[in-house]
Structure 1
Amino acid sequence: MTSAETEFPGPEWARPRGREQGATYRAYLFGPFRVFKGTEALGQRRHRREKALLLLKWFLLNPGKPVSMDQLIDIGWQDTAPEKAASGFHVGMHCLRRMLEPDLRPGQESSFIHRSGTSFYRFEPGEGWWSDAHDVERLFEQARAGDAHGDARRACFYYSRVAAYTVRRFLEDEESQQRWLAPYRRQYEGLCSQALIRLIQIHSARGELDEALEYAYEKLRLDPYNELAVGTIIEAHLQLGRPDDALRQLSLFLSSVERDLGAVAGRGLLALRERLTAAPPLASAGG
């Protein structure tokens, strides 16, 4: 066994979904927000639990990070009078503790939510928790490790699982919480974007045309002005002997960049257009 192989985790990472299936608590932040304890869905959308779920979202995105009561109030009660905001916060925190651990006795400490001083809190999920947001980070680090060791197979294995999260938008039903969620959304969308780019690059370099095209089209769906993706698609048309389709796709892309962004595409695509327009027409497939 090589030293590169020994740096990868054990059998649990051969089956990435094993962690999800074995967790007591499972939280999903891609798509609509959902939390399960076993098979039970927690915090159904009752009005009194809305704030408890908001607190849980913040904790899941910041595990182990101390936060003050005032900071949490600024997220969930920013439009509420100060005296009512503090009362609402304590109600929401009590509801969250009970939601996660219904059998807590009065005065008993939560297993997950810890208070320090008079107004600081932190969330310690422990081994019994799994979230797709944390899963993206772990998978991406595994992909980068494979990349760094020149192991394209492992890198693509993990990058493809990160890219799979692009199907659902991060916390897609939280439009009213755009301000505080914005940096987290950028972070996770950035990881997925980087994964797609590396998948396109690795599969293109390996001559794996179908895979490169699959991820190029997915990247173009998320970012209609991505030059790497459109360049990959155009080169694929050329390899398949379809120069007319390549030129048509390139012309549409260059026009949309100029029309929608008021910009000019990069030199690589412009040089590709010159190459295509200057090339003599190819013989038909039959010839």
Structure 2
Amino acid sequence: MTERHAGDQEGVRHTRATDAESHRFQARFFGPFHVSRDGAPLNDAAELGRTSARTLLKWFLLNPGIRVGSLELCELLWPVRRSRSNPNRLHVTLHYLRHLLEPDLAARQPSTFIRSDGKGLYWFDFADSWWTDVRAAERLLAAGKDADTKGDVETAITSYELVLDYYRRTFLPENLFDEAFDSSRTAYDVAHRDVESRLLRLYLVRGQIHKALPIALSVLERDPYSEEASTAIAEVNLRQGNVLAARTQFARYLETIRRELGADPSGSALRLWERIQRAG
């Protein structure tokens, strides 16, 4: 590894560690939702205990700057309870959340974060005070793709590994069945699969088969038809000299896709099969 590449990797890790600390507010979505202000948690029942306030804050933090009407917010917070009282309940929830985030907010003083145009549209402004793990993961993913494109494999691997650290914790596990966050969850599930695919490819390029195998097994657990994962496992076994295991893995994959999908493997997969046959 070159000195420059080692420095780039260290820079990626250092940025991750210090960026969160430089912001007054921190919010984590991967793993149980957690918010802190000045290092103190805001998740206690006495503070962020109202379900509607928690849901609204989550949505705002995931959609900063997006203007949304009061009716849409009511639908978000109380989808099965359509009532004339909902606008009043929304007003109470917004008031509660404003003062939770800024306890010293004076009467009629506008919130720094929860903004309104006075005509029923609301949006959230980070005001350079918020760090969230979802945005950190997005920046790391972008950095990994950029390094990947430039051929800086080691920095790309470091960035992807850090992203995967987030994704493995599960996005909002307490809201698995909450439709309000379905689109975000789907996006991160897709990104999770993409990062695993990128890491798997780079691990094999670098010959890091001890890291490639668990990634391939993880992919295969979610998608038993994945040619990429199946061939990677066969490739790892072949490189380790376990020809029988490689042949068994590939034969199982062939049987699965032909019987259940009526499909044939790609040309590159068939070339791997030929290598396995010659090795045996």
TM-score, normalisation: structure 1: 0.84
Cα pair distance change 1:38/1:238, threshold 3 Å? same
Runs of 4 or more above 6 Å deviation: none
Note if contact 1:254-1:264 (Cα within 8 Å) is conserved in structure 2: no
Equivalence for 1:94 = 95
C-alpha deviation, 1:258, in angstroms? 6.4
Equivalence for 1:240 = 240
C-alpha deviation, 1:280, in angstroms? 6.9
Equivalence for 2:121 = 120
- Which whole-Å deviations, capped at 9, do the CAs of 1:48-82 have from their partners, x for residues lacking one? 61101101111111111111111111111122233
1:163 aligns with 2:164: yes
C-alpha deviation, 1:192, in angstroms? 2.1
Equivalence for 2:226 = 226
Note if contact 1:234-1:249 (Cα within 8 Å) is conserved in structure 2: yes
Structure 2 Cα separation of the partners of residues 95 and 31 of structure 1: 25
Equivalence for 1:63 = 64
1:82 aligns with 2:83: yes
Note if contact 2:227-2:265 (Cα within 8 Å) is conserved in structure 1: no
- What one-letter code is carried by the residue in structure 1 that aligns with 2:225? Y
Structure 1 Cα separation of the partners of residues 251 and 24 of structure 2: 52
Cα pair distance change 1:176/1:84, threshold 3 Å? farther
**Tell me, what secondary structure is at the counterpart of 1:74?**
helix
Pick from 263, 275, 285: which aligns with 2:261? 263
- What one-letter code is carried by the residue in structure 2 that aligns with 1:191? A
Structure 1 Cα separation of the partners of residues 150 and 49 of structure 2: 50
- What one-letter code is carried by the residue in structure 1 that aligns with 2:270? A
TM-score, normalisation: structure 2: 0.86
C-alpha deviation, 1:222, in angstroms? 4.1
Unaligned runs of 5+ in 2: none
- The structure, 1 or 2, with the larger RCO (C-alpha pairs under 8 Å, 6+ apart) is 2
C-alpha deviation, 1:213, in angstroms? 2.3
Q: Give % identity.
A: 29
Note if contact 1:31-1:172 (Cα within 8 Å) is conserved in structure 2: yes
Unaligned runs of 5+ in 1: 283-287
Cα RMSD between the aligned structures? Answer: 2.9
Note if contact 2:145-2:156 (Cα within 8 Å) is conserved in structure 1: yes
Note if contact 1:113-1:122 (Cα within 8 Å) is conserved in structure 2: yes
- Which whole-Å deviations, capped at 9, do the CAs of 1:124-159 have from their partners, x for residues lacking one? 113221111111111111111111212111111111
C-alpha deviation, 1:163, in angstroms? 1.5
Note if contact 1:12-1:18 (Cα within 8 Å) is conserved in structure 2: no
1:30 aligns with 2:30: yes
Number of corresponding residues: 273
Equivalence for 1:285 = none
**Tell me, what secondary structure is at the counterpart of 1:133?**
helix
